[in-house]
Amino acid sequence: MAGHKKRWSAPLAALIGGSVYLLFFWPLRDPRPAVPAVHGALAIREAKIWFMPQPATAAEAPRIEERNIARGADLLGGTVARHMAMIPTLKMFATTVTANPAYLEPIYSEVRQFHALGGELLFGTDVGYLTDYRTEDEFRALTQCGLNARDILRMLTTAPARRFGVAGQKGSIAPGKLADPVVLSRDPERDISALARVRFTVRNGRLVYGQ
């Protein structure tokens, strides 16, 4: 853990202008005592940490959800104002914690709010931590957040190209840009999992994958 802390904490803080925003869905009624431990584990003292408590019973779920939405709106509004992007990686929650909708919906709600506020979403996964490399579940989870096929396609193409400063060369098909198209076998507007059904991949004008 110590090596990871040294390697990642300073670059991460510098990457987003000295402030790190962390959102935890925490099964504790009072998570405040955990904050010093989280700071210590991450070695990022300036991290701003929001804990979003999960309801212990069905009866208290509406009250907890209402409070989490209000707190989440404050956090998400700040990240959008600072032009920060979000990489949701939603499959991990359902795979490693629980697929219970009562647990997942508040997480989906944060992505939904961030998108509604105009926040930039980028596609990503927890491959490496997860041993399942398939992306269909990630795409389906994003639709649960209210995103449609075009929104998710932007997460895979134009949004990362713009974020990493290469929109003039990549991210869309246009004269003068690199010839790196991916051809799908089905229409993702009819079935979002089609984004994982790649028929051909072209790199620098050369076919590198084909079924």
Backbone torsions φ then ψ of 55, nearest 5 degrees: -65, 140
pLDDT at 14: 33
C-beta separation of 145 from 88 below 8 A: yes
Considering the domain boundaries, does residue 125 fall inside one?
yes
Q: Could you tell me the pTM of the whole model?
A: 0.69
What is the spatial distance between Cα 120 and Cα 127, in angstroms, rounded to a whole number?
22
Considering the domain boundaries, does residue 18 fall inside one?
yes
Domain span holding position 47: 2-171
Considering the domain boundaries, does residue 190 fall inside one?
no
pLDDT at 103: 84
What is the spatial distance between Cα 138 and Cα 107, in angstroms, rounded to a whole number?
13
Considering the domain boundaries, does residue 201 fall inside one?
no
Considering the domain boundaries, does residue 70 fall inside one?
yes
- Average confidence score pLDDT of the chain: 76
Q: Token pair for residue 88?
A: 């949701």
Residues of the chain under the 50 pLDDT cut:
1-29, 31, 39, 41-52
Considering the domain boundaries, does residue 42 fall inside one?
yes
Total tally of structural domains belonging to the chain:
1
Per-residue pLDDT tens digits for 43-53: 444 444 444 45
